[in-house]
Amino acid sequence: MSPIQIGEKLSKFGYQVGPGEILPVSVAAAEYLSQKYGNARCFLIGDESLGHLLEERGHIVSRREETADAVVIGQCFWADFGEIDIARRLVEQGAQVVALHRDATWPDGNVIRIGLGPIVAAMESVIQKPATIIGKPQRAFFDAALARTGFVREDTVMIGDSIASDISGAISAGLRSLLVRTGNSANDPVPAGCDGALNSIADLPQWCDTQFPD
């Protein structure tokens, strides 16, 4: 999702957050590619919205077997081994594998679907080096968000539903963290170093009033 799409979704829940305050992993990936390649030639394994975002940032997106600087792996419902087959040959020719994240699963309403983790694992099983991961739990992603906002690290709270990517990543990056029990880690114990857990994001205002009375 683009910053505008995320902002529109948040507004429906009553949160007024401007696009400039939002850093999706898709934007971080596009910026990484720009810094490394300028206008990168990308073989895309992902949905159309990611392709459009990359093109808006000046990158060239293809789903055909042609010379590429990077194989970009983003969220999609039905990745197939035909794409991985093409991507493997592109990597042999020098392309870099860039994945938005490697979460094993993601919640889609009442259904838990496989995430990028299995796709990245399949890709890495047929190449000689690991994929470059842009998003959580990579410290660089948290650092980029802090740099944009100017927030103080130890006063910033990461709120997420995945212990593996959200909470563990935040703890490693020196942020406070808060687990929401509506996603991937709904039944897992709160890990050491986490500031607590909420049954729903709707409980966040009350938690904030308790933690930050001023």
**pLDDT at residue 1 is higher than 80:** no
Output the pLDDT for position 77.
Answer: 78
CB atoms under 10 Å from CB of 197, counted, come to 18
The chain-wide mean pLDDT, for the chain, equals 92
pLDDT digits (tens, 9 = 90+) for 106-161: 878 788 888 899 999 999 999 999 999 999 999 999 999 999 889 999 989 999 99
The torsion angles phi and psi of 177, rounded to 5 degrees, stand at: -150, 155
> What Å distances lie between residue 152 and 135, 142, 167, CA to CA?
20, 12, 18
pLDDT digits (tens, 9 = 90+) for 18-55: 888 999 999 999 999 999 999 999 999 999 999 999 99
In the numeric block, the tokens 């590429």 are attached to 68
Question: Which sign, positive or negative, has the C-alpha torsion 32, 36, 39, 43?
Answer: negative
Residue 59 near residue 36, CB atoms below 8 Å: no
pLDDT digits (tens, 9 = 90+) for 196-205: 999 998 899 8
CATH number for 3-133 (one of 3.40.50.300, 3.40.50.261, 3.40.50.1000, 3.40.50.12140): it is 3.40.50.1000
- Identical fold for domains 3-133 and 152-211, yes or no, is yes
- Encode 124-158: b = buried (16+ Cβ within 10 Å), e = exposed: eeebeeebebbbbbbeebbebbbeeeeeeeeebbb
Output the pLDDT for position 192.
Answer: 95
Output the pLDDT for position 58.
Answer: 97
Report the C-alpha gap between 168 and 136 in whole angstroms. Answer: 9
For the chain, the structural domain boundaries read 3-133, 152-211
Average pLDDT over residues 6-14: 89
Output the pLDDT for position 102.
Answer: 92
Average pLDDT over residues 58-69: 97
CB atoms under 10 Å from CB of 54, counted, come to 25
Output the pLDDT for position 97.
Answer: 98
At the topology level, CATH places domain 152-211 in Rossmann fold (3.40.50)
Output the pLDDT for position 133.
Answer: 97
